[in-house]
Every structure is written in structure tokens, then in C-alpha cells.
Amino acid sequence: MPNLDWKGKHLPPPQPAAVILDSILYPKGRGYPKARPDGRIILGDNLEVMAALLPEYEGRINLIYADPPFFTNRKFSARVGRGEDSRKPSKWKLVEGYHDSWDDIDSYLQFLYERLSLMHRLLAPNGTLYLHLDWHADAYARLIMDEIFGAENFINEIIWTYHGPSPIRTAFNRKHDTILMYAKSKEYTFNVDDVREPYNPNTVATFKASPKAGFGKIPDLERGKVPEDWWYFPVVARLHNERTGYPTQKPEALLERIILASSNKGDVVADFFCGSGTTSLVAARHGRRFITCDETLRAVQTTRSRLAGTKSVISFERDARAKYEIANKSKKVKVSAADGYVHLKTSLDVDFWEVDPAWDEKNFRSVAQAHRHVRSGEIPMQLKVKIGGRVCIRVVTVEGKQFQLNI
């Protein structure tokens, strides 16, 4: 098999992040204070975070979905504000999302090579990796994956197709992404019955009219069919209810098919380019444990806010060396407690806030949370809390600024 070469190709020894626990989120108080986390969100460079996970998770992660930068050489902005809505541009603003900028293709390929190699080490023997890219670099990635996983462990080249406007007038509109599916071994998890879909009504009518239509093979029409390797799911448009405003957000339906097919309840699902947090959100809904990380605070904040609406207890951890700022005072934020409620009063545009009812000055334990509704932009300014000691709140604004205040 041919190998892909590039300037500077090498695999340096991984340098682990210094991961520390920052807080634990108990959605609406579920499991507080003793429940162990079902999932982990980690702020830090994913290469260093994966290296730090090796002692505990090498050979133990059942499914990895990887959605890295695509080598577009663009900067992507997040859309934030009250009522993020394309029809009301005065209601939102653009802030930094993430960068997909590179010196050259060699630096990009080295970036992928180091990270995909660590993902291979973390995968369980029955594990699967889905690598999501597009036309910019998927051909290179196929050769890298063949080298790391072995060409014999290639399973599928999945085409995710979608509609949308395009400024292209000199070629066919580019409206698909490529997802490369590789297994760690031949004994990989694939739950075919969990992802079956109904047959086309015309197919059903044909077989009911003539059992010989399938050349002697009669499908189980009630059971449904195994999906092809091209999938149509609409992109997350600006008016969709699951929209967060984070750039290049992937639809929940896409991740649901992947997670149901290639993992079981209780398995560990990982996404080391968490972005808007769709992978961990869908994993939590379907009873999987999860690990996710990102180097940008906006991605981590977006993911944490979405997961607050699930039943999963979540730990938020961070590389002690990563930039992480949280102010402990603000003249624009006032907080009070009365009659079993904590009240927030502020002129700031709040995206998410939470309450620790018994702050121990070590790890923040969130038992009540409120987040901004993506359509209306409204957010509750009081939370019902059973106070057990010194009350502490954390506030995140739509611009990403953080505050931590005590009552």
C-alpha cells in the first residue's frame, strides 16, 4: 500500500496536559452531591488532552467521532445575541468561533497525523472512528487512515449530502461532506437493527404486487432496510431549533445514526473537536458515557450549556496551563437569595448562569442552571435552590465573559 509523505512527517512523544477538575454539573440537581459524572468536558489542546487520557483510557474508548478543521484556510465566526435569528440582524453579533488557517498542507497533515495516531491508541479493540472532512483534504486523510489503521480496517466512505445556497457559478455546487469509517479490528460494533429505516413506499408497493421483483429475494418490509452509504440530513440552518450559533454545527440526526450504529449503552463515546457539542449531547440522550474537549472556551461553554438540558452529570475539567479567566466581581451583576430562590439582576447579556448552594471554595458544584433560549433570547433570572451553605453563582455572557460571585 502506498504511504503519504510530507515535509516534517514524524510522531513525537505525546506531551500530556495537566488536567484539573474545575466543576461538576448536576442538571437540575439530579444526583447531587454524590453521583459520579457520566461525561467529561475538557478545555485544552486535544493532542495534549488525549495524551493525558492514555493512562486511563488507552484501548477503552468504544467510538470516536472526529470533526477537525477541513483545511479551508478561513476564520469562522460564532453568531451570538438575543434571539439568534437571520431575520433580525440587529439582535445578534458576530464573535470569534475558530480558526482553520494553516501555513501549508504539510502542517495540516502533520496536525491530523499526530491526533489520529493517538485516537487509534485510545480506541477499544471493538472500537470505530468516524473522520469527518470534505473535498479540501479527504483524499489525503484516506491514505493517513490506511497507514494508521490498516487498509483492511476501512469500513465505509460515507457521503453526507445536504441542500443550501451557493455562490459557485463555474462548477457544480459542492453540497456534501465525506465521513471515513475505520475500525480498530474486524470485531467492531455495528448495531444494524438500530439504524434501519423504512423502505421507499414505491419499493413496498412493488414487492406487495410481485414477490419476484427482487430476483427471488423478498426483503422484510416491516423490518426496514439498512441505510446506504450516502445520507441526507439537512444542515443546521439559522432558524432550526437545535441551532446554537456556533459555526459549522453538525445536525443531531447525523450523530444519532453514528452513535446508535457503533456504540452500546454504557459505552464511552469521544469527540476531541467538540465544537457545538452535538456528539456529547446525543451520546448523553442515548445512555452513553462521553469525553469531549476543545481548545476554545466558546466551544466548551456552548457544549456545557446544551448538556445542562440532559440527565447526565458532567465534570468540567481544564488544562491548568490553558487560558481561563473568571472575574470575581462586577458592578453590573447583583445576586440575592430569598424564599428558596436565587435572584440574578444584571445589565449584561447573559447566555448561561448556574448556582452552587454550598460552595466549598474548591470545585464548583452546579445544581441549578438557566440558559438563553436560542429563538426568543430570554433567560430566567431566578432559580429555585435548596440552600445548604455559602451560595455561589457563575455567569457566562453571550460574549463569553465569565463571572463568579458569592452571596
38/151 same-domain check: yes
Q: What is the pLDDT of residue 240?
A: 76
Query: Residue 208 burial by CB count (10 A; 0-12/13-18/19+): exposed, middle or buried?
Result: exposed
In a domain, 6, yes or no: no
The cell for 383 is: 432559580
The C-alpha cell 464573535 sits at 95
The number of domains in the chain is 2
Q: Same structural domain for residues 242 and 102?
A: yes
The answer on 247 and 345 residing in a single domain is: no
Predicted local distance difference test score (pLDDT) of residue 86: 53
The answer to whether residue 92 is domain-embedded is yes
Residue found under cell 488525549: 50
Looking at the structure, tell me whether residues 86 and 141 fall in a common domain: yes
Q: What is the 3-state secondary structure (H, E, C) of 162-220?
A: CCCCCCCCCCCCCCEEEEEEEECCCCCCCCHHHCCECCCHHHHHHHHHCHHHHCCCCCC
End-to-end CA distance of the chain: 65
- Examine the domain organization and report whether 190 and 304 are in the same domain: yes
How far apart CA 383 and CA 399 sit, in angstroms, is: 22
Closest C-alpha among 307, 402, 349, 379 to residue 92: 349
Query: What are the pLDDT digits (tens) for 49-92?
Result: 999 999 999 999 999 999 999 999 999 988 876 555 555 666 66
Question: Which of residues 272, 294, 319 is at a domain's end?
Answer: 319
pLDDT at residue 66, as a whole number: 98
Last residue of one domain, picked from the residues 319, 346, 362: 319
pLDDT at 207: 77
Question: Are 239 and 122 in the same domain?
Answer: yes
Tell me if 291 is assigned to some domain. Answer: yes
pLDDT (tens digit, 9 = 90+) per residue, 156-168?
999 999 998 888 8
Question: Is residue 44 assigned to a domain?
Answer: yes
Same domain, 48 and 190: yes
Question: Rounded to whole angstroms, how far apart are CA atoms 291 and 258?
Answer: 16
Asked whether residue 367 is assigned to any structural domain, the reply reads yes
Distance between CA atoms of residues 315 and 267, nearest Å: 17
Are 295 and 370 in the same domain?
A: no
Residue 157 lies in a domain: yes
d(CA 39, CA 284) in angstroms, rounded, equals 8
Domain boundary residue among 319, 349, 365?
319
pLDDT value at position 87? 55
Distance of alpha carbon 12 from alpha carbon 31, whole angstroms = 41
Residue where the block lists cell 486535544 = 46
Q: Residues 261, 401: one domain?
A: no
Residues ≥6 apart with Cβ < 8 Å to 250: 67, 132, 236, 275, 276, 278, 279
Question: How long a stretch of residues is the chain?
Answer: 407
Beta strands 154-161; 230-232: pairing state: parallel
Judge if 273 and 343 occupy the same domain: no
pLDDT of residue 89: 61
CA gap 24, 43 in Å, rounded: 14
pLDDT under 70 in the chain at which residues? 81-92, 211-218, 238-239
In terms of domains, do 182 and 279 share one?
yes
CATH number at 256 reads 3.40.50.150
Whole-structure pTM value: 0.94
Both 347 and 276 in one domain: the answer is no
Range of the domain at 183: 19-194+233-319
pLDDT at residue 179, rounded to an integer = 98
Task: Report, in angstroms and rounded to the nearest whole number, the Rg of the chain calculated over CA atoms.
Answer: 23
Indicate whether 4 belongs to any domain.
no
